[in-house]
Structure 1
Amino acid sequence: MTPDLEAATGRYLKLIGRADEYGAVDLVVNLIDGGVPAEDVLLRVIAPGQRRVGELWASNEWSVAREHAATAVSERAVAAVSGHVRPAPTRGRVAVACADGEYHALPTRIMAEVLRLRGWDVDFLGASVPGPHLISHLHQTGPDVVALGCTLPTRLPRAHATIAACQAVGIPVLAGGAGFGADGRYARLLGADAWAPTADAAADRLAAGLPSFPAAHDGAVQLGDEEYAYLTRHRAELLSRVMDTLGEHTGEDLGHLADFLIAAIYVHDASLFTDFVTWTCRVLAARNVPAESVVLGLNIFRDVLADCPRARVLLTEGVTAARSCCAVRRTETSV
């Protein structure tokens, strides 16, 4: 009888929630031994369990420490699946890496393991792989394709440089991960040869044939303009000026807002920034921090950026998004 994977995911979440590494590993190994395909264990037990970890942190039900401990156990569980099932390579070779600056390695590791289970000879290079080091690896090993993971869109400028460098040495790039957009819009914008929303979709895409190089963009948007360069170069100074005015707002929150603003400027997409503002307001609300503090911080940031018209427009849209969160919050608390 096939195990109930939804129930198994619930058990798995409880185990990683109390950092029970041995229990989590035993669970996934026993599922495989009981007839559940290893790919299903990765994608229908470990991955959804880990997504739930992120949700519990965002809602302030789990601390950062508990979230980190659970993630460490999930990494161990993925490694256990990898060690328990060892298919022989029947396809080509793929180098799997996280974009430079991307430290959320678990989704990319799961993709690497799914590709391995599908018969690919996989080199998993881990988190935050600098572009020059990746290119050196490509020269040394000659893979057929690079699978590049990016969870946070703040890493898109570096991902762009990596994509271009891989293609310059004749190796196509399959992009994956939430950082490239839910519909892959940023993967296309940055010139990736293909995009996949999930690990199994990535395996299906490669099974259908290696990506071919895209045609040159006709009238493509210019990425990395003067405002982007200015914001990147002066990020620390600008944040310091904002902090001098807004002492109670944490530097970490402001830093994340600045990074998403810079990424939105790079890809010319206001929604990248406003969506993050909305998410930030919800996370802070779960911690009883009013969204008004975000409004105040964004307004001060806008005042500081007197010579950056595009950034000021984005910050104004961010203020509107944060105020909408304030209104929703007031409605919820008055009910």
Structure 2
Amino acid sequence: MTRLARNWPPVVGDPYETAFLGDEEYTYVVRRRAELVRTALDRLAATYPPMAAYDQRQHDATVEDLSHVVDFLAAALYVDDAQVFTGFVEWTAAVLEARHVSPAALDVGLRLVCEQLRGFPSATAILGAGRSRLAR
């Protein structure tokens, strides 16, 4: 978080000369954001049985949460700092607990996003770090 507070937004000269902007994993996650969220949501309905009883408000909150997962993953990839994501996961787990949603739901969501990013080692490592925080 400190890195974001001090160096955000980053100063960018020529984007073609800025290595991190061309990072394949960050670019993939940002460009496929909607697909990652939609696929995770579809699979979540089949994988997490309590979701079948969700009302529209709960469904919308789940879509928003999955969107945040992908956004924070992209941010962590962008600045190459897993703490951006793991801090978000801890905060989200607390929010879900206040909504009486099991942290298992978040873990399943993280796993479902991770499964879509098998060829991206940095993204899967960041997602794994988030899941490890939940396990504690």
TM bracket (short chain): 0.7 to 0.9
Number of the residue aligned with 1:180 = 4
Aligned partner letter, 2:4? F
Structure number with the higher strand fraction is 1
Partners of 2:79 and 2:19 lie apart in 1 by: 9
Tell me which of 58, 76, 92 is aligned to 1:280.
92
**Superposition map of 1:166-315 within 5 A:** 180-181=4-5, 184=6, 186-187=7-8, 190-191=10-11, 222-224=19-21, 225-247=23-45, 248=51, 250-315=62-127
8 Å CA contact 1:232, 1:262 repeated in 2: yes
Determine helix, strand or coil for the equivalent of 1:305: coil
Q: 1:179 to 1:289 in 2, by over 3 A?
A: farther
**Superposition map of 1:1-335 within 5 A:** 180-181=4-5, 184=6, 186-187=7-8, 190-191=10-11, 222-224=19-21, 225-247=23-45, 248=51, 250-324=62-136
- Give aligned pairs, total: 117
8 Å CA contact 2:36, 2:70 repeated in 1: no
Partners of 2:37 and 2:92 lie apart in 1 by: 17
8 Å CA contact 1:227, 1:308 repeated in 2: yes
Determine helix, strand or coil for the equivalent of 1:223: helix
Name segments (4+ residues, structure 1) moved above 3 Å. none
Aligned partner letter, 2:88? F
Aligned-residue CA RMSD (Å): 2.5
8 Å CA contact 1:292, 1:323 repeated in 2: no
Q: Which runs of 5+ in 1 are unaligned?
A: 1-152, 154-177, 193-220, 325-335
Post-superposition offset of 1:179: 8.9
Partners of 1:261 and 1:302 lie apart in 2 by: 10
Post-superposition offset of 1:191: 3.7
Post-superposition offset of 1:222: 3.3
Partners of 1:309 and 1:180 lie apart in 2 by: 22
Query: Which structure: larger Rg?
Result: 1
TM-score of the pair, normalised by structure 2: 0.77
8 Å CA contact 2:117, 2:123 repeated in 1: yes
Aligned partner letter, 2:10? L
Structure number with the higher helix fraction is 2
Determine helix, strand or coil for the equivalent of 1:190: coil
Post-superposition offset of 1:180: 3.2
Aligned partner letter, 2:25? E
| Amino-acid identity (%) | 39
Partners of 1:258 and 1:313 lie apart in 2 by: 14
